[in-house]
């Protein structure tokens, strides 16, 4: 067979393989989300091994953030590995290091029982403190619809879902590679009433 025929056959086969690979990749991407957006998501690991009694609230708070934003994913760290977000239970008031935390860096979240003793909702507390780790400051005073209003929304407030503005700020913070270079602020925000 002449060389030209071999090249045409090889080119056609390569094009077919690439087209099939693209179709297979497209089939694995959830509706409404591009493969580029999935690839760009920052994965942050959390360690809650020192937050006994808060497990259900932590799972719910993490699920709330993971359902609300796509540029960052919170995943439980495997035992014995280093996590970016260290969550501990304390007897004081809830507090957290102001982020945004980045892979390889570390922030601390303290889930204080003092707030629970005063009637505040555990899931709202953890979702709020994770918001600090993701770079959101307090918005006090504020309504219950603002997750970052924290304790100023009162003890009856159980909303643990970030509002559109809060989601947008986190999405923007974790949107680009240049943003990924910014480290955590390092300030500790104490969420006392």
CA distance 120 to 156: 7
129 part of the active site: yes
Q: Which helix (H) or strand (E) holds 108?
A: strand 107-112
Interhelix angle 122-133/55-68, nearest 10 degrees: 50
Helix residue spans in the chain (DSSP H)? 3-28, 35-40, 55-68, 113-117, 122-133, 164-173, 177-180
Closest CA to 142 of 122, 128, 121: 128
Question: What is residue 191's predicted lDDT score, i.e. its pLDDT?
Answer: 59
Q: Quote the pLDDT of residue 134.
A: 97
pTM of the model: 0.75
Q: Please tell me which residue in 55, 76, 110, 129 is annotated as part of the active site.
A: 129
**pLDDT tens for the 193 residues of the chain, in order:** 454 443 344 434 433 333 333 333 333 333 444 444 445 689 999 999 999 999 999 999 999 999 999 999 999 999 999 999 999 999 999 999 999 999 999 999 999 999 999 999 999 999 999 999 999 999 999 999 999 999 999 999 999 999 999 999 999 999 864 444 444 455 554 555 4
């Amino acid at each position: 067979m002449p060389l030209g025929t071999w090249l045409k056959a090889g080119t056609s086969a390569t094009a077919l393989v690439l087209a099939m690979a693209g179709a297979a990749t497209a089939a694995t991407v959830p509706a409404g989300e591009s493969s580029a957006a999935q690839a760009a998501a920052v994965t942050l690991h959390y360690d809650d091994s020192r937050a006994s009694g808060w497990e259900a609230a932590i799972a719910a708070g993490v699920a709330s953030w993971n359902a609300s934003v796509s540029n960052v994913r919170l995943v439980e760290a495997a035992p014995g590995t280093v996590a970016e977000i260290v969550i501990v239970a304390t007897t004081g008031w809830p507090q957290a290091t102001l982020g945004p935390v980045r892979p390889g860096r570390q922030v601390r979240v303290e889930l204080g029982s003092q707030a629970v003793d005063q009637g505040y909702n555990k899931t709202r507390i953890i979702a709020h403190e994770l918001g600090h780790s993701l770079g959101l400051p307090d918005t006090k005073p504020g309504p219950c619809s603002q997750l970052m209003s924290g304790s100023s929304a009162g003890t009856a407030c159980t909303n643990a879902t970030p509002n559109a503005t809060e989601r947008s700020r986190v999405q923007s913070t974790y949107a680009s590679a240049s943003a990924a270079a910014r480290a955590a602020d390092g300030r500790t925000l104490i969420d006392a009433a």
